[in-house]
Homo-oligomer: A and B are copies of this chain.
Amino acid sequence: MTGLRENNLGSAQECLGQRFQTWRGGEFDLALCPVRGILDRLGDKWTTLILIVLAQRPHRFSEIRRSIPDISKRMLTQTLRDLERDGMITRRVFPTKPPSVEYGLTELGESLLEPVAQLVTWAETSQTKIAMARSAFDAAEASRG
């Protein structure tokens, strides 16, 4: 289905180029949807943060809230449910007196940490360049009126 010849990619452009050609020939939207779905999820406000928090150790609901101070209960619940639905995290309920729930990464969730870490590393090393490009662009724009 993919037509990708080697797993060991020499050049990122080539790799993506081949995939894109594959996508274009035939089912464009269908084949891209899973990737887009992943990116949408990672792109939302909280998924990555939760993943990072749970990467350290399993956490209870309130622990996560404390670790991510500006998240609302609503969004935490929702994001956790989405992640659980996608098989990225587990949800264990302890029927204690005040009920407690513990969330942890599944293997699938842990496997996602690697590409995410790559991206984080890239973002961290590139943030200076991005900031420079941004201010240069804004300055040029302002000078044009």
Contact = CB atoms under 8 A, between A and B. Distances in A.
Q: What is the oligomeric copy number?
A: 2
Interface of A is mostly: helix
A142 interface: no
A112 interface: yes
A141 to B, nearest CB: 8
B110 A12 contact: yes
Contact of A56 (B13, B56, B67): B13
A8 to B, nearest CB: 11
B123 A108 contact: no
A123 B118 CA distance: 14
Interface in A114-131: 114-124, 126-127, 129-131
A130 B55 contact: no
Interface residues of A, number: 67
A73 interface: no
A138 interface: yes
A27 interface: no
A101 interface: no
A38 B39 CA distance: 11
Given A17-B55, A20-B53, A123 B43 contact: no
A87 B132 contact: yes
Q: 4 closest Cβ contacts across the A-B interface?
A: A43-B43, A87-B133, A34-B127, A12-B113
